[in-house]
Amino acid sequence: MGSSYKTKSDILIKQFIQYIQVERGLSANTLESYSRDVRDFADFLQNSSLELVSEATYLNIAEYLAHLHKSGLSSSTIDRKTDSIRSFFRFLTSERQIPKDPTKLIESSRSWSKLPSVLSIEEINSLLEQPDISKPLGLRDRVILEIMYATGLRVSEIVELKLTDLNSELGYLRCSGKGNKERIVPVGSKALKVIKNYLDSGRALLKPKNDYLLINYKGEKLTRDGIRRIIQQLAKSANISKKVTPHTLRHCFATHLLERGADLRSLQEMLGHADISTTQIYTHVNSKMLKDVHQRFHPRG
């Protein structure tokens, strides 16, 4: 059993690490920490004669957490390991490797990874100007940036967009988010214009082999990792010192909308969050703006 167990579990863990690397743009050290935490959990399960890590139940996880507490580890270390396991099972659920998330009944830990940095409007504009739109791949790259900033789509959602998901006349995109929940997201006029240029003058020259909106130089479906590399290269060309990942653009979308008065409920719908508490994490960057408003308008500000 040991060899087969290792092979199957290792494949799932490797897929998980690749996923969070693209989705969240974490450092090499953080990725190694996630990998080590989940592998330690998998080893614990193997010693308990569980065939595969993805078959773990709530009770298995609770037993492991009790084991960690008995081992004398610090609360911060146990929090981190709990978050790693929770993220792993959320991934398995979103990828339909398992029917339901066994960590949902586990209390949320106190510590979470830092949110990505926010680009200024000037930095966003500089980034958008980097693709060479005289070339088909440049047009495609500009579309990637425009859609991600205009809609806040996750990178896992944008790679699944098909030509039929775009309604240019009404100005919206249809996408399937986590849990295969479909939602409609508005697209601005500037982004629509760039998409039209790409469809009219760029995509056909890439000799598409499918009906996905975004394709690579071979005409095949663009991958999440492909988009990550494109964005990082364009950010480097724009001389942006901050770390820029696909999730950075989603974060900028949310933050810039909130700064200009968007309400949380509308933002929740556009981001595809099941719980508004998830959306509220974006409000932390508005503390300075709220303080400025208070000072300007409150009688004793």
The set of catalytic residues is 154, 178, 247, 250, 273, 282
Q: Are 137 and 152 in contact (CB under 8 A)?
A: no
Residue type, 100: K
| Distance (Å, whole) CA 73 – CA 67 | 10
CB atoms within 10 A of CB 282: 23
DSSP three-state, residue 45: helix
| Distance (Å, whole) CA 210 – CA 268 | 32
Residue type, 118: V
Please give the angle made by the CA atoms of 253, 238 and 257, to the nearest 5 degrees.
15
DSSP code, position 117: P
Q: Are 79 and 68 in contact (CB under 8 A)?
A: no
| Distance (Å, whole) CA 125 – CA 142 | 11
In order of 14, 278, 281, the CA distances from 138 in angstroms are 31, 34, 33
| Distance (Å, whole) CA 61 – CA 82 | 9
Q: Pick from 200, 197, 198, 191: which is nearest to 147 by CA?
A: 191
Give the bridge partners for 162, in sequence order. 212
